[in-house]
Amino acid sequence: MVKGLADTTGYRISDYQLQNVKTWKGLRDSLMQRPASKKLYKRLRNSKAFAELPNVSLVAQRVTPIHKEKAVGRWQLIKDELVDRGLPVTGFRTKVKKSFTVV
């Protein structure tokens, strides 16, 4: 029955959801539920759980030190100094293997 329902409607119900279904209304409600967001950020943003907290901010991507410096307005100065000194702006120029000899 469930496989035929999934074929005709195009909606798939997981086994976990089917365990909780007791009536036809429960089956309909399971079909009408929106799928959960794939990213934790979207789920937390939609839940509004952290919206009231002043010391918590939700961002979609990882915040790097470069992002923090850009937010304050210092990144252009730091980048210019690194270029003037011949240092890499982000990351490393080359990976240096360190070999140790035991005497």
Alpha-carbon distance of 31 to 93, in angstroms, equals 54
Q: What is the pLDDT of residue 10?
A: 76
Summarised one tens digit per residue, pLDDT across range 59-93 is 888 888 899 999 999 999 999 999 999 888 887 65
Residues 47, 41: Cα–Cα separation, whole Å: 10
Q: What is the pLDDT of residue 99?
A: 54
pLDDT tens digit sequence for 5-59: 777 777 777 787 788 888 888 888 877 777 766 788 888 888 777 878 888 888 8
Helix locations, 10-97, DSSP H? 15-20, 24-32, 40-47, 65-72, 75-84
Q: Could you give the CA distance from residue 59 to residue 69 in angstroms, rounded to a whole number? A: 16
